[in-house]
């Protein structure tokens, strides 16, 4: 399998480093001269032009800033063979999925989102093991299952991530609560501290709660702004849910109502308990290779919605075998 990665910052760069370390024939490309030079100095194959990077490739990962992805997709689709698998690593999915569908690319473009990162940016922060064990959303479409299966195998087996199959709009609603609103809260906390006349003392007394709660406010500001704008409506809806809970807490505090405060914190704490360790059950689910696509998509997206993920995908003769981890009830 010959691969290319376009946009080799933190995320794309980590994909590039991983595929290269795994021994795949992979080439990177980035619009930034210095990034290309840096990749070459690190011994990673890098093309000077996008067209050279993608020529003759079997799979292309599209990285780079979110607003640039539609144009890159069109360009790469035109420069590659009709069966070349395309995917992206952008942080929102519905817009790009709709864009690809409108251009008839659903059979070979699989929207993707690796859920890992750091508060640093650029190829210098990239690491080949960034995605080991991390969740990696892939959006299966009924007419794109062949592409989905190939990519799921690559992402689980070569990159070592957990593939979470999810419909594009469901992904965006989930990501709003699991990633985008946390960025808003972190920005608000850090911003209010920065503006406060007590700033210097606040930073001196900053214990774990402040450090943890503001960490992602240190990520590059344009990247955060793009991420939020790319998922605006879902982010605002999720923010309303969070501020409703915040209002309940503030209301109980204002009233001096310790019982309600304690009850709300016990409810919130249950999410932390579930996050720390949910038991999974391993299962292998076969589907006929040429079976009813809607059934396979429904099973896959149901798996993601229930909190499960794929740890493998093998096509053997007439059947595809998904190895899945399903969270046990409780």
* Residues 11 to 50 in contact with a copy of itself, rule: CB under 8 A: none
Partners of residue 114 on adjacent β-strands: 136
Window 230 to 249, contacts with a copy of itself (CB under 8 A) = 232, 235-236, 238-239, 241-246, 248-249
Nearest-5° Cα angle at 236, 233 to 242? 145
**Contact (Cβ atoms closer than 8 angstroms) between residue 25 and residue 79:** no
Task: State yes or no: residue 250 binds a copy of itself (CB under 8 A).
Answer: yes
Q: Output the smallest distance, CB 214 to a copy of itself, in A.
A: 6
220 closest CA partner among 129, 127, 136, 122: 122
Task: State yes or no: residue 121 binds a copy of itself (CB under 8 A).
Answer: no
Task: State yes or no: residue 281 binds a copy of itself (CB under 8 A).
Answer: no
Q: Which residues contact 30 (CB under 8 A, 6 or more apart)?
A: 6, 7, 8, 9, 12, 36, 39, 46, 64, 123
Q: Output the smallest distance, CB 140 to a copy of itself, in A.
A: 15
Which C-beta is closer to a copy of itself: that of 84 or that of 300?
A: 300
Task: State yes or no: residue 217 binds a copy of itself (CB under 8 A).
Answer: yes
Q: Output the smallest distance, CB 148 to a copy of itself, in A.
A: 18
Task: State yes or no: residue 282 binds a copy of itself (CB under 8 A).
Answer: no
C-alpha distance across the termini of the chain, in Å: 41
* Rounded-to-integer distance, Cα 165 and Cα 137, Å: 6
* Percent helix, strand and coil across the chain, each to the nearest 5: 55, 20, 30
Q: Output the smallest distance, CB 31 to a copy of itself, in A.
A: 19
Window 300 to 319, contacts with a copy of itself (CB under 8 A) = 304-309
Q: Which residues contact 158 (CB under 8 A, 6 or more apart)?
A: 18, 19, 22, 24
With CB under 8 A as the contact rule, the residue among 184, 300, 320, 324 that binds a copy of itself is: 184
Mark the segment that binds a copy of itself (CB under 8 A) among 35-43, 147-155, 173-181, 284-292.
173-181
């Amino acid at each position: 399998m010959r691969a290319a990665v376009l946009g080799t910052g933190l995320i794309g760069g980590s994909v590039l480093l991983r595929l290269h370390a795994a021994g795949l024939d992979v080439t990177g490309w980035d619009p930034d001269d210095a990034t290309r030079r840096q990749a070459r100095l690190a011994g990673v194959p890098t093309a000077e032009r996008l067209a050279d990077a993608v020529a003759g490739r079997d799979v292309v990962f599209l990285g780079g800033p979110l607003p640039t992805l539609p144009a890159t997709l069109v360009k790469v689709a035109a420069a590659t063979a009709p069966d070349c698998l395309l995917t992206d690593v952008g942080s929102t999915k519905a817009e790009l999925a709709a864009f690809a569908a409108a251009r008839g690319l659903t059979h070979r473009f699989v929207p993707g989102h690796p859920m890992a990162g750091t508060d640093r940016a650029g190829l210098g922060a990239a690491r080949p093991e960034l995605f080991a064990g991390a969740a990696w959303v892939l959006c299966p479409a009924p007419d794109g299952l062949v592409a989905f299966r190939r990519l799921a195998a690559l992402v689980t087996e070569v990159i070592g991530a957990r593939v979470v199959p999810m419909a594009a709009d469901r992904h965006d609603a989930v990501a709003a609560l699991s990633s985008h609103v946390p960025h808003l809260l972190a920005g608000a906390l850090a911003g209010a501290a920065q503006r406060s006349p007590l700033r210097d003392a606040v930073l001196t007394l900053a214990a774990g709660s402040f450090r943890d709660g503001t960490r992602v406010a240190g990520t590059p500001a344009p990247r955060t702004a793009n991420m939020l704008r790319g998922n605006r409506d879902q982010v605002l809806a999720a923010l309303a849910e969070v501020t409703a809970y915040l209002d309940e807490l503030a209301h109980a505090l204002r009233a001096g109502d310790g019982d309600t405060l304690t009850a709300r914190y016990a409810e919130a704490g249950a999410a932390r308990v579930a996050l720390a360790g949910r038991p999974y059950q391993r299962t292998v689910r076969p589907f006929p290779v040429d079976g009813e696509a809607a059934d396979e998509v429904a099973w896959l997206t149901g798996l993601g919605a229930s909190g499960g993920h794929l740890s493998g995908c093998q096509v053997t003769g007439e059947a595809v075998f998904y190895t899945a981890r399903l969270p046990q009830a409780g």
